[in-house]
Amino acid sequence: MKKKNWVMFLCAVLAGLMIMSLTGCGKESSAGGDGVLKVRFTHVVAESTPKGKAVLKFKELVEEKSNGKIEVLVFPASQLYGDKEELEQLMANNVQFIAPSVTKLVGFEPAFQIVDMPFLFNDDQAAYDFYDGPAGQKLMRSLEPQGMLGLAWWPNGAKQFTNSKRPLRSPEDFRGLKFRTQSGGLLDAQFRALGAGSQTLAFAEVFTALNNKTVDGQENTFNNIDTQNYQDVQKYMTVSNHGRLDYVVLTNTTFWNSLSPENKQIIEEAMREATLYERQLAEEENQKSFEKLKASGKMEIYTLTEEDRAKFVAAMQPVYDEYTDKIGREYIEAAKSCNK
């Protein structure tokens, strides 16, 4: 290389090094001129929910552990992006963290619909054991080829049915009704098996759709029903615990790979602590919401008996016939083995 070219080359390297030191870490592309790495966490639920509170806890822990060198900007309640957009924006690295209900990941990995397999998990503990075991961990990491890295399972809880038309005590009561679903496939099959129709709607649209009677009913956790005020537009609730609504915290893989080992460790530690907090909160908040819904007297509440449950299990057998292989027998068997 000629002397002049060497000088230009050195200048370019020095300029690069200066930019890297100004932004705090060259590959952490979101770091601003003040050296603070700003990351975005968006979600679709209220801040008072287990997910909403756990995101705030994660923010607090990350900011504390990094001495303010990482700032987590939180956008709740679909303020920034709804169900579909938050996934697109995560993949584009415009958002660094999301925690979607795993049902919404069906387009990427059908096995996530395991949470919707009717009556598969007997209780919360069985679901946690599955998530923390080898099958759950493998599933959590399955989106890496799509540029999304799973960091934690954040459960919400069991789903219950609500509707505006009539009490739902037996599979026959569902005939002719239309239910909102989070995402297609298995949930459509579930309602089909009950003789009902279904329509996929983003979470932010559900209250209006129930209010306008675009759909008659929906399925969700006690806490989502309560915090979205579905009791104002739904007259009946059936305590069925027929499926689950849980989350996977996802980050963008390119963003993750650009982090320094120290920052990765900070985020991993904060995520572990926020996850423990979230799990305890999910159970407490769902119980509180159930009590609140009962006390409000706005909905007529029916709890399935063992006998009713057996009828639903039989009616939903077609879902197992159609989806066991689509989800993967390995996952289904692993889930069943967690029921003690």
Residues of the shown chain interacting with ligand LMR in the complex, contacts defined by CB under 6 A = 44-45, 101, 156, 182, 203, 220, 224, 245
CA distances from 212 to 208, 216, 217, 227, 233 (A): 6, 9, 11, 19, 9
Question: DSSP states of 69-115 as a string?
Answer: SEEEEEE-TTSS--HHHHHHHHHTTSSSEE--BGGGGTTT-GGGGGG
Closest CA to 176 of 198, 199, 196, 200: 196
Query: Distance between CA atoms of 172 and 195, rounded to whole angstroms?
Result: 8
* Residue spans of alpha helices (H) in the chain: 3-22, 50-65, 83-91, 124-132, 134-140, 186-193, 206-211, 222-227, 253-258, 261-296, 306-315, 317-327, 329-336
What is the number of alpha carbons within 13 Å of residue 279 lying toward its C-beta?
15
Which of residues 116 and 173 has its CB atom nearest to ligand LMR in the complex?
116
Which of residues 45 and 111 has its CB atom nearest to ligand LMR in the complex?
45
Shortest distance, position 43 Cβ to ligand LMR, whole Å = 7
Give the residue closest to ligand LMR by C-beta.
101
Which of residues 65 and 244 has its CB atom nearest to ligand LMR in the complex?
244
63 near 31, Cβ under 8 Å? no
Query: Distance between CA atoms of 148 and 150, rounded to whole angstroms?
Result: 7
CA distances from 96 to 38, 160, 201, 255 (A): 9, 31, 24, 7
Which of residues 37 and 248 has its CB atom nearest to ligand LMR in the complex?
248
Which of residues 79 and 265 has its CB atom nearest to ligand LMR in the complex?
79
Shortest distance, position 150 Cβ to ligand LMR, whole Å = 16
Biggest alpha carbon–alpha carbon distance for the chain: 88
C-alpha gyration radius of the chain = 23
Say which DSSP state 196 is in.
-
Which of residues 224 and 253 has its CB atom nearest to ligand LMR in the complex?
224
Shortest distance, position 182 Cβ to ligand LMR, whole Å = 4
Shortest distance, position 230 Cβ to ligand LMR, whole Å = 10
Shortest distance, position 10 Cβ to ligand LMR, whole Å = 52
Which single residue is written with the structure tokens 């999301």? 98
Shortest distance, position 211 Cβ to ligand LMR, whole Å = 16
Shortest distance, position 240 Cβ to ligand LMR, whole Å = 16
Which of residues 203 and 290 has its CB atom nearest to ligand LMR in the complex?
203
Shortest distance, position 219 Cβ to ligand LMR, whole Å = 8
Q: What are phi and psi of 222, to 5 degrees?
A: -55, -40
Which of residues 23 and 286 has its CB atom nearest to ligand LMR in the complex?
286
